[in-house]
Amino acid sequence: MASQNLQSVPAELSPEEQEREAAGQAYFDRIISEDSRIEPRDWMPAAYRKTLLRQISQHAHSEIIGMQPEANWITRAPSLKRKSILMAKVQDEAGHGLYLYSAAETLGQSRDQMMEDLIAGKARYSSIFNYPTISWADMGAIGWLVDGAAICNQVPLCRASYGPYGRAMVRICKEESFHQRQGFEILLELSNGTPAQKQMAQDAVNRWYAPSLMMFGPPDDDSPNSKQSMAWNIKRFSNDELRSRFVGMMVEQVRVLGLTLPDKDVRFNEETKKWEHGPLDWNEFKEVLAGRGPCNSQRVERRREAHENGAWVREAAVAYARKQAQKENAA
């Protein structure tokens, strides 16, 4: 199995330890072949642990950074109902970040460390959140396209081989599905509104369409980690497969919206039975990923500022808890 190639066994292991490792590997391989679940205390290959930790922490960071572009419109939401829905949505994202950090912690890394890595610019998050939200309609487009793409990516993750991740994803997907509907509803209302509102909606769809397609990651022939992740039952479908499905869904839904997708090459290929889309600017994707997007430094800076401004509060909570524990022990 491919997994065995990645597992380097240190030479200094004693015969007993080597035996334990071999038994662990055999158990792991059986669980994966049965499409069953690995739990935190189970033996797992170091590379599997590392891959998951990277993926789950990146996902958590995306939720946390992803709060910012939407929080940007909470104070300016144009009706109290919309304000209330938007607040609840951004709050959900904080909740998703929490479950995911917790799932990642079961793999042996602390939330503090993950947060430090994010602030230090060592950790990645979904590149799409480095684009600015410049109009109210962006709240609709993010819900519809960005959360829509996230759902396509994440629904199969509910069956990921790592138990805590899969279970966290079940709840997250339910909430994301609700988020997508609310985004669609915002756009629908704008599209049926005044000409200025409709224009606002179309402009947002034009700007978020390509970045949302790129959320599925690079094309399959340029995605080095995908194959191993699929062998480990973490990932279930390839980037291009998911992207094509997503395009198909959007084609139908955009008609209901009375808007258009900014892609004249979208078509259903009768031979492959797959939806196809026009060329994407992967150069821009790489640029944004490399830190040259419109909001990269702003997003990380906001996280750093919040974290550092809150340091004294976290210290106070720890000090207080310690003092209370001492009092209880003394009593």
Q: Which of residues 226-285 bind other proteins (CB under 8 A)?
A: 236, 245, 248-249, 253, 256
Task: Examine residue 291 and tell whether it contacts other proteins (CB under 8 A).
Answer: no
DSSP 204: H
Q: Which amino acid is at 200?
A: M
Q: Which residues inside 40-79 make contact with other proteins, applying CB under 8 A?
A: 64, 67-68, 71, 74-79
CB of 176 to other proteins, least distance (A): 9
Q: How far is the CB of 260 from other proteins (least distance, A)?
A: 16
> Residues near 108 by Cβ (< 8 Å), separated by ≥ 6?
49, 53
Q: Which is nearer to other proteins, 7 or 177 (CB)?
A: 177
Candidates 292, 314, 325, 326; binder of other proteins (CB under 8 A) is 314
Distance CA 268, CA 188 (A): 25
Binding range to other proteins, per CB under 8 A, among 160-168, 169-177, 223-231, 277-285: 169-177
At 80, list the tokens: 């109290």
Output phi, psi for 267, to 5 deg: -160, 160
Residues 184-203 that bind other proteins (CB under 8 A): 184-186, 189-190, 193-194, 196-197
User: Residue 212 in contact with residue 145, Cβ under 8 Å?
Assistant: yes
Cα distance between residue 82 and residue 269, in whole Å: 39
Place of tokens 């700007």: 207
Q: Which stretch binds other proteins (CB under 8 A): 25-33, 87-95, 214-222, 288-296?
A: 87-95
* Nearer residue to other proteins within complex by CB, 45 or 166: 166
According to CB under 8 A, which residues from 93 to 122 bind other proteins?
Answer: 94-95, 97-98, 101
- Alpha-carbon gap, residue 48 to 59, rounded angstroms: 16
Contact 262, 100 (CB under 8 A): no
Q: Considering the rule CB under 8 A, would residue 134 count as an interface residue with other proteins?
A: no
